[in-house]
Structure 1
Amino acid sequence: MPISTPDLFGQPPAGLAIVVFAALLGGLVRGFTGFGTALVFLPIATPHLGPFGALIALTCMDVFGPLPNLRRAWAHVERPDLTRLITGCALTLPVGLWVLSQVPPELFRYAVSTLSLSMLAALVLGLRYTGPVRRGMVAAIGAAAGFLGGVAGLPGPAVILFYMSRPLPVTVIRATVLLFLFAFDFLIFGYLGVMGRLTVATTVLGLTLAIPNLLGNWLGGWLFRPTHDRLYRAIAYAAIAASALSGLPLWG
């Protein structure tokens, strides 16, 4: 008779190992680029945790992951723009979460992978916005990020593409994106609580995943050097592509 292995956090050992690896890899990518946790974690973890389970786990672990890099990021961030981004996000995030509650899980997985690959293609092709940047535009980018963050768990693409198109130092871009995503975690956690979507098991799992995610963030931040920006972006792009493709429902 085969020996059965007890599940932990409602997950079999193999599935849990995959989720832990996703947390570590997502933290590593975010540590040296300032973004990428959701782009890496969600495609890998959603098949095992479900849409809302993956979002809750991501939010819980992501609050702790960026902590080693927050102080340095705060010194470089564009604070007025950060405020506008967060304000726009707060207005549309609940709309995106409501839409997510109305669609099947498979559609969520397709949305996550499609958005991840679309953002990656835009970055690789060098698509840039070259027009003037106004205050209202920054708030609108935050609003787009909030909706996408609710419906697909990906607030980053709109903000990342916008900031990477601006003639700013990589340290400023990285800091602004990192701090916006950190604020997003608190917003979505609050909205999920109001919606009654938080569960003890998934919350505890997310807090546990903060350990490998924190390790990945620390390692990525330690490896980050502005002079090696091209190398780091190439590695991040490869990780995002692999994660997005692995998360497609086509594979089961």
Structure 2
Amino acid sequence: MLFTTSWLVAALAVTLAATLQAVTGFGAALILVPLLVLAYNAHTAVGMTMVISFCSLLLLTFQVRKSIVKSMARNLSLGGLAGIPFGACVFIHFDVTRLKVIIALVTLAFALLLLLDWMPRRTFGPRAQAAVGAAGGFLGASVGMPGPPVVLFLNHQGVPKEQFRATTSAYFCLVYPASLFLLLALHALDRQAILTAISLIPFALLGQALGTGIFPRVSQELFRRGVPLLVTAVALYSLATTLF
């Protein structure tokens, strides 16, 4: 049903998440899943996040397509496709709440390492990129949050903000629909969740427009330092909302 308290909270969350996503190329799921879980059950929240994130990312990817690092996006995506079936198995058969706690703790640890510059920078090849993509595919299909491993990996590699945003959005544009179609084929998603998510798409487009206007004002250094800080904050928030 539209215009309920839960729907209005979701509309605000979608606008904020889409704004962040347009600035960074990620972030919608990191914010949406914890917030939507406050209003809906975990499986419904994950399904809604997949639909909303994909719709907003599709437009962003088209706008920034010239900045995509194609070889990296390809390797990440191939790995992502391999990880999705395992994530779908977890989504169907396991307690998603416990998995969210584990993910939040691992994400927090890596984000803090990056934030404190304790991880030496080096260039990793196609195999490492595919492995990171697989981790993202697994998380995308299981908890609707493919971002942490891919975002932290690209930030660790020192990818310029334009290429960072374009490459992550291109990767997510493949992972989300692939996860969504598999879960729908397995009858693991509620139809009402999909319809509710579709009703929220206008708010995703609003956030997309706001974020696109903010992006040019963000410096490369602020972007590099801000990404792990943002992931740290969201991991803490996700952990708090899941446990309490």
- Shorter-chain TM range is 0.7 to 0.9
Amino acid at match of 1:40: I
Work out the CA distance in 2 between the residues paired with 1:239 and 1:136: 24
Shift of 1:108: 4.2
Question: Which secondary structure state, in structure 2, belongs to the residue aligned with residue 163 of structure 1?
Answer: helix
Shift of 1:166: 1.6
Please point out which of 25, 28, 32 is paired with 2:16: 25
| Farther-moved stretch of structure 1 (27-36 vs 193-202) | 193-202
Q: Distance in 2 between matches of 1:28 and 1:84?
A: 27
For the residues of structure 1 that align with 2:235 and 2:17, how far apart are their CA atoms? Answer: 10
Secondary structure at the counterpart of residue 196 of structure 1: coil
* 1:137-156 matched pairs, under 5 angstroms: 137-156=128-147
CA distance in 1, matches of 2:118, 2:39: 34
1:158 counterpart = 2:149: yes
Which of the numbers 55, 63, 68 marks the counterpart of 1:72? 63
Deviation at 1:241, TM superposition (A): 2.1
Number of aligned positions between the proteins? 242
Identity %: 22
Aligned equivalent of 2:185: 194
Deviation at 1:205, TM superposition (A): 0.8
Q: Residues 175-223 of structure 1: CA distance to partner in whole angstroms, max 9, x if unpaired?
A: 1111111211111111111211232211111111211112112210111
Alpha carbons of 1:165 and 1:196: their partners in 2 closer, same or farther (altered >3 Å)? same
Listed one character per residue, the Cα deviations across residues 111-155 of structure 1 (whole Å, up to 9, x for unaligned) are: 454455445434433454523421212111111211222333221
> Would the aligned equivalents of 2:108 and 2:235 in 1 still touch at CA under 8 Å?
no
Shift of 1:168: 2.9
Whether the 8 Å CA contact 2:77–2:133 is kept in 1: the answer is: yes
Query: Is 1:131–2:88 an aligned residue pair?
Result: no
In the other structure, the counterpart of 2:174 is: 183
Of 196, 213, 216, 2:204 maps to: 213
**Contact preservation (8 Å) 2:112, 2:228:** no
Question: Counterparts of 2:215 and 2:198 in 1: how far apart (Å)?
Answer: 25
Match of residue 171 from structure 1: 162
- The one-letter amino acid paired with 1:43 is P
Counterpart Cα distance in 2 of 1:78 and 1:194:
31
Seen in structure 2, the aligned counterparts of structure 1 residues 51 and 74 have a Cα distance that, compared at 3 Å, is: same
Gaps of 5+ in 1: 1-7
Mapped to 1, the partners of 2:123 and 2:104 lie a distance apart of 31
Contact 2:19–2:208 (8 Å) recurs in 1: yes
Supply the distance in 2 between the matched residues of 1:52 and 1:190 (Cα, whole angstroms): 15
Alignment pair present for 1:249 and 2:242: yes
1:100 and 2:91 aligned: yes
Give the TM-score normalised by structure 2: 0.86
CA distance in 1 between counterparts of 2:155 and 2:216 reads: 17
Bigger Rg, structure 1 or 2: 1
Q: Which amino acid aligns with 1:213?
A: A
- Any unmatched runs of 5+ in structure 2? none
Q: 2:67, 2:162 within 8 Å by CA — same for their partners in 1?
A: yes
Whole-angstrom distance in 1 between the partners of 2:124 and 2:235 = 32
Aligned alpha-carbon RMSD (Å): 2.7
**Hey, what's the Cα distance between the residues in 2 that align with 1:136 and 1:208?**
39
**Which deviations, in whole Å up to 9, do the C-alpha atoms of 1:67-95 show, x marking residues without a partner?**
44223321011112211111111111111
TM-score (norm 1): 0.84
Q: Is 2:107 the counterpart of 1:85?
A: no
